[in-house]
Structures are given as C-alpha cells and as structure tokens.
Amino acid sequence: GQQVMQIPQYQHVQEGEDFTTYCNSSTTLSNIQWYKQRPGGHPVFLIQLVKSGEVKKQKRLTFQFGEAKKNSSLHITATQTTDVGTYFCAGFSGAGSYQLTFGKGTKLSVIP
C-alpha cells in the first residue's frame, strides 16, 4: 500500500531559527495536504498542493510539491513559540482515491 515517510521525527530549534520538514511518498500523489497538531489537540488543515512543482506561502510558512509529485516540504522562517506542534503531511494515492495516508509527523519544539 501507499507509504508516506516524513523526516525528521523531532526537531528542536531556537526561537528565530528556520525549520524544515520533508515528506516522501512511495507512490505518485494526486495532491498533498499539510496539517498541524498542537499539543493535546487534533490535526488542523494548513494547505493543499495539487500541481507538480507548486509552491505556496502562508506568512512565514512555505510549502513545496515536488516535480514528480512524490515529495513535499514545509519550511518555516524565523520560528516562534506559537509554531510548536507536530506537522503532518498526508496524501491521496490517485485521483478519485479516498484513502488519506499520513506521515508520522515532525514534532517541532521551539526554545525561547
């Protein structure tokens, strides 16, 4: 079945430093989604990427979708304590597929 791998599993950064998490799929994805889960909370949708090579920005967050639609990244510039949480990527294996598979997530800690 489809596998979505995410690295690193944990990342500790000093406040103000940048942060990047990477996501790789064993199969081509029709689209990829990113979610954030705050400690004690539930995952909340951040963004969806659809096109090959697509780049989207949300303030300090930059999301990229690979040319082959098998990998993606999330980059946070100048982290803040409010960025703390676990970031997940998730993908559907093909158009019309309903099976949404998540990566294991990257847990971000920000040291003030």
111 binds other proteins (CB under 8 A): no
102 binds other proteins (CB under 8 A): yes
Piece in contact with other proteins (CB under 8 A), picked from 12-20, 64-72, 74-82, 99-107: 99-107
**From 24, 28, 30, 109, residue interacting with other proteins (rule: CB under 8 A):** 30
Q: Is the distance from CB of 47 to CB of 57 less than 8 angstroms?
A: no
50 binds other proteins (CB under 8 A): yes
Q: Where are the beta strands (DSSP E) in the chain?
A: 4-7, 10-14, 19-25, 31-37, 44-49, 55-58, 61-65, 71-76, 85-92, 100-102, 106-111
In the bound state with other proteins, the residue whose beta carbon lies nearer, of 64 and 86, is 86
- Could you give the CA distance from residue 51 to residue 66 in angstroms, rounded to a whole number? 9
Q: How many residues bind other proteins (CB under 8 A)?
A: 26
